[in-house]
Structure 1
Amino acid sequence: MNTKKLNNTFYIVTLLTVTMFFSCNNSYNEVQQLGMSENEPMGVAEHINLKYTDSGRVTANLLSAKMLDYSNRDFPFNEFQGGITLYLYDEENKKSTVVADYAIVYNKTDLIDLQGNVVITTVDNRELKTDQLYYDQKKEWLFTNKPVTFTSETDIINGNGFDSNSKFTNAEVLEVTGVITVED
């Protein structure tokens, strides 16, 4: 009888162990999240100097003091708390510059939100200044509803809002509040 009792105990323990083993079905992502708050970044990068190339030619160079990676969220994004400086190079290796005190890139929508002392200077010396500017990467479109100052070859235009493609070939200041014509 002792053996029968021992066998029954062994079967019960085995059954409980197998049941517990199969009842644990956490996915890999859930296991990764253990011990990590959703409010915490997934990663932190400092002193970024990222170069994008196309066919061996540098097309962009992103500089930033600090980037926080929140790809662990339902709506993932990257946050550049230390601001950004972005150099964009055209086919003739001429440089345009984008500067902002803060930037956030939303991964699912390909939307970039630039904030604080945003200044874009193009290859042909046109300049846009504003406090906030959005860039739609899919449509290659810049826009804002904030006050702007846009300097072209001949004019300095102030207004509330701005729309343009990324090459500034159809740049438009919305709700123009003032125009100063520059003479040579």
Structure 2
Amino acid sequence: MTKRVTYYILNIVTVITVTMFFSCNDSFKQVQKIGISENEPIGIEYKTNLKYTDSGKVIANLLSNKYLDYSNRDFPFYEFTDGATLYIYDKENRKSTVVADYAIVYNETNLIDMQNNVVITTHDNRVLKTDQLFYDQSKEWLYTNKPVSFKTEEDLINGNGFDSNSEFTNAEVLEVTGIITLED
């Protein structure tokens, strides 16, 4: 009887061992594919029109010819590689326009990072030029610490840095390096 129990146990152990041996395979290539897919966007969209609303009212509208969706990352974002145009609307629904060659939208922080040839044209025709500009959607605030050129109705102000609310009622060039008074 003990021989028979030992025989059954030996058969069960053998079957389990053989099953485990044949179920193992080389999964290194699968692991490599997972790493690649995590670095690739999960989607590409063309002719994008993203609207940001607050209480049902559009406060910003981002347009682009192409964007890459990296929402599969630990810190998700959207990348706009072919340029972007951002329209910002104030409380009176007046539109200011920000154009850039490249932009990134960070989902978790509600921050838009616009880069390369950034130009803002405000609703009252003031123009800001810089290489990088951030727009905080939650605070409706624009800022940069890069060199800027800000043309108002009277002056052309150069400096390092810019701060403003989305209505441009308190637009300020930081660290002013020069002011040129414009003649009519």
* Bin of the TM-score, shorter chain as denominator length: 0.7 to 0.9
Aligned-pair CA distance for 1:52? 5.6
- Matching residue of 2:163: 163
State the 1:87 CA deviation.
2.6
The two structures have a TM-score, normalised by structure 1, of 0.74
- State yes or no: 1:173 paired with 2:135: no
TM-superposed CA distance for 1:151, in Å, is 1.0
CA separation in 1, counterparts of 2:139 and 2:89? 19
Match of 1:26 in 2: none
> Would the aligned equivalents of 2:48 and 2:65 in 1 still touch at CA under 8 Å?
yes
- Distance verdict in 2 for CA 1:145–1:107, change over 3 Å: same
- 1: CA distance between counterparts of 2:55 and 2:166? 21
Distance 1:60 1:143 in 2: 16
Which residue does 1:21 correspond to in 2? none
CA distance in 1, matches of 2:96, 2:141: 16
Q: Residues 99 and 76 (structure 1 numbering): CA distance in 2 closer, same or farther, change over 3 Å?
A: same
Give 2:42's aligned residue: 42
Question: How do 1:65-84 and structure 2 match up within 5 A?
Answer: 65-84=65-84
Correspondence list, 1:2-17, <5 A: none
Q: Determine what percentage of the aligned residue pairs are the same residue.
A: 74
Query: Corresponding residue for 1:29?
Result: none
Residue in structure 1 matched with residue 121 of structure 2 by the alignment: 121
SS in 1 for 2:37: coil
Deviation at 1:83, TM superposition (A): 1.0
- State the distance in 2 between where 1:147 and 1:175 align: 9
Relative to structure 1, is the Cα distance of residues 59 and 172 closer, same or farther in structure 2, using a 3 angstrom cutoff? closer
CA distance in 2, matches of 1:88, 1:124: 13
Whether 2:154 is the aligned partner of 1:132: answer no
Post-superposition shift, 1:90?
4.3
1:38–1:98 distance in 2 versus 1, CA, 3 Å: same
- How many pairs does the alignment contain? 172
Output the TM-score relative to the length of structure 2: 0.74
Paired letter, 2:43: G
SS of match in other structure, 1:38: helix
Q: CA deviation at 1:42?
A: 1.4
Aligned-residue offset at 1:180: 0.7
Cα shift at 1:141: 1.6
Once the two structures are superposed, the pairs formed by residues 85-164 of structure 1 within 5 Å of their partners are 85-90=85-90, 93-164=93-164
Look up the SS of the partner of 2:164 in the other structure: strand
Aligned to 1:37, the other structure's residue is in SS state: helix
Match of 1:22? none
The root-mean-square deviation of aligned C-alpha atoms, in Å, is 3.3
Provide the C-alpha distance between the structure 1 equivalents of 2:49 and 2:108, rounded to a whole number of angstroms: 24
Distance 1:142 1:58 in 2: 17
Q: Secondary structure at the match of 2:38?
A: coil
Cα distance, 1:133–1:35 mapped onto 2, change above 3 Å: closer
**1:82-104 Cα deviation digits (max 9, x unpaired):** 11112334455543211000000
